[in-house]
Structure 1
C-alpha cells in the first residue's frame, strides 16, 4: 500500500498541471461563453430572463468539450512519462497501475469540486451577471449539483483512464501501438454503429444519465484492465 501511495504522490508532484490547467481551461470556457451569449442576446434581441433564451442557453455544451482533450493527454503522459520513475521507487507494475488510478481518482474529485464551486458562483451571480449558462445546463443536470458532481467525476476518471491505456500501449509496443489500437477501436465502433443504426432513435430515446454513467464506468474498468495487460511485460523506456 505504501508503494501505491508513493506512486500517487509522484503523479501529484505536477501541481501546475494538476491544479492550474483545469482552472485555466474552465476560465477560457467562461470567457468565450460570455462573449457568445452577449453576441446572441444583441443579435436576436433576447432578454436573458426570457424563457426562450433560457431554454436555448441551457443547451450550451461547451463544458462537455472543454476538458476531455487535456484529460486524455494527462492520462497518457501520467503512464508514459512517469512509469520509469515509479519503478525506480521500488513499485511493481501492479503498484504503479493502482497508484496511477488513485491519482486519477483524486484528479477527478478535484475537477468535480471545481465545477461544483463554479456552479455555485454561476447561480449566485445570476449566471455570471449576463445570463450566461455554462454549468447550469441540461447536459449536466440543469443546476443539480449531485448530477454535475457525479458526471464530472465519472467523466474525468473515464478520460484519464482511457488516456492511460493508450500510454500503456505506447510503453509496451512503441509508437505504432496506440495507432493500431485507435484504428481497431474506431473500426469496432463503426461496425457497432452500423449494426444498431436501424434502432438508433430508440436507443437514444431510452438513454438516461444513469445508463451513460454505467457505460462510462464499464469502459473505465475495461481500460484499467487493458492498462494492466499492456504493462505486464512493458520495459522501461
Structure 2
C-alpha cells in the first residue's frame, strides 16, 4: 500500500496541471458564456422568457471544454510518470493502483469545484446576469446530485481512457495507439451499421442511469486492459 501511495503522491506533485489547469479551463468557459449571454440579451432577448431559459440551459460548453485536457492528462500520467514510478521501487500493479487513486482524487477535486460554482450560480440568480454555465441540462439542470455523479464519472472516464492509450503507447510504441484507435473506430462503425434500423428506439430509451452504468463498465474494462498492457511494458 505504501508503494501505491508513493505513485499517487508522484502524480500529485504536478499541482499546476492537477489544480490550476482545470480551474483555468472552467474560468475561460465562464467568461465566454458571459459574453455570449450578454450578446444575446443585447439583441433583445428577455431573460424572463421561458424560451430564453430553455435555450440557455442547452449551454454545454462546460461539458465539452474539459475532456481534451483530461484525456491528455491521463495519457501523460501513465506514459511519462511510469519510469519514475518504477524508479521508486513500485511494481506495475502498484503503479496502476496509485494512478487510479490519483485519477479518483482529480475527479473528486473537479466535482467539488463544479458543485461550489453551481451553488454560487444559483445563489446569485445566475451570476446576476442570467448566465447559465452549470445550471444546464447536461449537468442536471441545477440538481447537485446529478451534477456530482456526471462530473465524477465523466472525469474518471476521460482520465482512464487517456491512461489506456498511454499504456498502449508504453507497451507497443508510437504505432500502438493509432492501431487501437483505428480498430475501435471500425468496431464502432460496424456496431452502428448493425444497429442502424433500431437507433431511434435506442436513443429514446437512453437514461441517465444507463449512461452511468455504461461509463463504469468502460472504466473497468479500460483499467483491466491498461493493467494487461503494463504487465509486459518496458521503460521508454
TM-score scaled by structure 2? 0.98
Moved over 2 A (4+): none
Aligned residue in 2 for 1:68: 67
1:215 corresponds to 2:195: no
Count of aligned residue pairs for this structure pair? 236
Q: Which runs of 5+ in 1 are unaligned?
A: none
2:194 corresponds to which residue?
A: 195
Give the Å deviation of 1:198: 1.2
Between the aligned partners of 2:199 and 2:32, the Cα distance in structure 1 is 33
Counterpart residue number, 2:24 = 24
What's 1:100 paired with? 99
How far off its partner does 1:17 sit?
Answer: 0.4
DSSP 3-state at the match of 1:60: coil
Residue pairs, 1:1-237, within 5 angstroms:
1-43=1-43, 45-237=44-236
CA distance in 1, matches of 2:104, 2:112: 12
Give CA deviations for 1:152-193 in whole Å, capped at 9, x if unaligned: 000000000000010000001110000001111111111111
Deviation at residue 59 of structure 1 after TM alignment: 0.9
User: How far is the alpha carbon of 1:49 from its aligned partner?
Assistant: 2.1
Deviations 1:49-99 (A, max 9, x none): 221100111111111101000000000000000000001111000000010
Give the alignment's TM-score, normalised by structure 1.
Answer: 0.98
| Secondary structure of 1:91's aligned partner | coil
Distance 1:130 1:185 in 2: 44
Shift of 1:131: 0.8
Can you list the C-alpha shifts for 1:36-59, whole angstroms capped at 9, x where unaligned? 11112222x111122110011111
Q: Distance in 2 between the 1:68 and 1:36 partners?
A: 22
The whole-number CA distance in structure 2 between the counterparts of 1:220 and 1:151 is: 14
Aligned equivalents of 1:118, 1:18: Cα separation in 2 = 18
Q: Distance in 1 between matches of 2:216 and 2:133?
A: 25
The answer for unaligned runs of 5 or more in structure 2 is none
CA distance in 1: counterparts of 2:176 and 2:38, whole angstroms: 46
Corresponding residue SS for 1:161: helix
In the alignment, the residues of structure 2 paired with residue 121 and residue 192 of structure 1 have an alpha-carbon distance, to the nearest angstrom, of: 43
1:200, distance to aligned residue in structure 2 (A) = 1.0
> Residues 185-234 of structure 1: CA distance to partner in whole angstroms, max 9, x if unpaired?
11111111111111111111111111111111100011101101110100
